[in-house]
Structure 1
Amino acid sequence: MSTPERPLTWVDGEPGDQLCVLDRGLAYGDGLFETCRIVDGRVPLWPWHIKRLQASAQALSIALDVTQLHVWLRDVFSELTGRNIGQGTLKILLTRGVGGRGYQYSRHLVPTVVLQVYPDSLSPFSDPLTPLRVRVCEMRLAANKVLAGHKHLNRLENVLARSEWQNSNIHEGLMLDNHGCVIEATAHNVFIWQSGQWYTPALSECGVAGVMRQLLMNELLPGIGYKVKVVPITLAEMYQADEVILCNSNRGIRPVGEIIDTSGEPRRFLKHDNAQALRALLGEFVQGKGSVK
């Protein structure tokens, strides 16, 4: 097995990948992260990413110096330009910082900011659509109204869910809550199209309120005359949908072609017209967008 290529990494603005072993992000998952798609040397959805990062940092009482973050990001993108890197994934990790043993922390900790870039040649906002094969995961998401919606570093549920399959023909896994309602996929949000109406699961108790989810709900779909209903969605209701799509800010909008339930029975979705139209709309939207470069 080949060794994965290491990302370009900066810690608090300095090149390097060494993190203090006392960092609370490592010890307790005490922090947040954002995963952003780089397109043509910029982050087209940056306004949505920084808004969510600020909101989540405030919710967890982690200080975030946005001005300093933008200075470091400008240095990163200057380096990418020099290396002729225009496509890839930017990951931003914000931890509470270096602290001592124990859950209690000092209010005077200085947060740690890690910036990572994974170069690639993907064009997820414009590549041809390939319907995904999705399975239903056995791992359930626990309820926590305080953490619900935030992209915090405690992602062990998603890690365990993703470990349930090794088959490369399965592209994603649906995650349910303890009531049996669909919440999200391991790394995507979920939308269904049924009888002329868009629906997406309620995330009031668990799940991540993704940037692409917010963009679809608040801008793209209203822009073409659709209002998304946020409701609990059972598996049975999802199986009755005309279309199912998964989305995130790094891979865009992706149609689901098949869901395999826990008995191994496949439920197929043959219509992908709305996914195709939304992908085209998203491709137009990202042109000229983005403030980080």
Structure 2
Amino acid sequence: MVVASVPSLPFDDRGLAYGDGLFETVLVRDGNAVLWEQHLSRLMLGCEVLDIPAPSRDQLDATLSRLGDGLQVLKLIYTRGSGGRGYAPPAKASPRLYWQATPFSPQQARWKQGVRIRLCHMSLARQPRLAGIKHMARLENVLARSEWHDPDIAEGLVTDGHGRVVEATAMNLFWLSSSQPMPCTPSLEHCGVLGTLRQVMLDAGELMIDELGVDELAGCQALWVGNSVQGLWPVVRLDDTEGRILGEWPITATHRHLQRLAHDHLGYPAI
């Protein structure tokens, strides 16, 4: 296996050619990876689904030993390597693990003031076999994110093509409705990414799984988008695909409560 901190992918690497690989984006504080076990669990799941030999725990932990103090984001890229003919994978894979760490500062203004988001035209194809894992073939997310250039719009929501809201382009979605006793998040059994912040909050009993239609968004009591790097952003305005306002929410104690629970898992301050 190749392990490198400076990416130098061969032209025939299957991750480059076909998206045949996985990645993780990890918040690291003073050399300690936040939600490391959840990230490793998702990476192992991805290896199982794609039938790629998994990297060893020692190899993955070794990337952390090279990081210094402060807040950083560690990007791991794990490809099947080279080989095979066309789409056919090689009989014996020689995976490549690449990593890079960069200094990071969360967007605290979005914690405090909330964010404006929009609906995307782009929808996600249902493919249960790939649902949940963080594979490298993310063209749907790229196309969804390319739909707007307004810096005042922080995120875009995507559906599964059946009118069910799945996630944001780079974050999971959370909501509170009058019909449920606690905040909810979509199941993601057909498509979408099983976010690590989402997972730890589900495991802690702080969320429940439900479905949400596009036509139900405006009637929610509260909306949030979040991930394990940026934390949780309260949604204060939702636009449709044409920029018309679908819903607006003042930030309340309900928003702050879920945000506090999420930030406790990440080591971020309460607002």
Letter in 1 for 2:81: G
> Which residue of the partner structure matches residue 14 of structure 2?
24
Q: Secondary structure at the match of 2:148?
A: coil
Q: For 1:174 and 1:35, locate their aligned partners in 2 and report how far apart those are by CA, in whole Å.
A: 20
260, 264, 269: which one pairs with 1:284? 264
Deviation of residue 159 (structure 1)? 0.2
> Which residue of the partner structure matches residue 193 of structure 2?
208
Q: For 1:149 and 1:135, locate their aligned partners in 2 and report how far apart those are by CA, in whole Å.
A: 23
Aligned length: 265
Q: Secondary structure at the match of 1:190?
A: strand
- Identity level (%): 36
- The 5 A counterparts of 1:14-163 are 14-77=4-67, 81=68, 85-122=69-106, 128-163=111-146
Q: For 1:127 and 1:162, locate their aligned partners in 2 and report how far apart those are by CA, in whole Å.
A: 18
- Judge conservation of contact 1:242–1:271 (CA < 8 Å) in 2: no
Letter in 1 for 2:210: V
Deviation of residue 75 (structure 1)? 4.1
Q: Deviations over 1:15-43 (max 9, x none)?
A: 42211111100000001111111223321
Q: Deviations over 1:135-156 (max 9, x none)?
A: 1100111111111111111100
- Judge conservation of contact 1:132–1:170 (CA < 8 Å) in 2: yes
160, 184, 195: which one pairs with 1:199? 184
- Judge conservation of contact 1:203–1:209 (CA < 8 Å) in 2: yes
C-alpha spacing 1:181/1:285, structure 2 compared with 1 (3 Å): closer
2:206 is the counterpart of 1:236? no
Deviation of residue 96 (structure 1)? 0.7
Q: Deviations over 1:181-232 (max 9, x none)?
A: 111000011111112432212211111111111111111xx2xxx551x232
241, 255, 259: which one pairs with 1:262? 241
Q: Secondary structure at the match of 2:97?
A: strand
> Which residue of the partner structure matches residue 7 of structure 1?
none
**Which blocks of at least 5 consecutive residues in structure 2 are unaligned?**
none
**Which blocks of at least 5 consecutive residues in structure 1 are unaligned?**
1-10, 288-293
Letter in 2 for 1:239: A
Q: For 2:207 and 2:154, locate their aligned partners in 1 and report how far apart those are by CA, in whole Å.
A: 28
- Judge conservation of contact 1:133–1:171 (CA < 8 Å) in 2: yes
- The 5 A counterparts of 1:166-185 are 166-185=149-168
TM-score (norm 2): 0.90
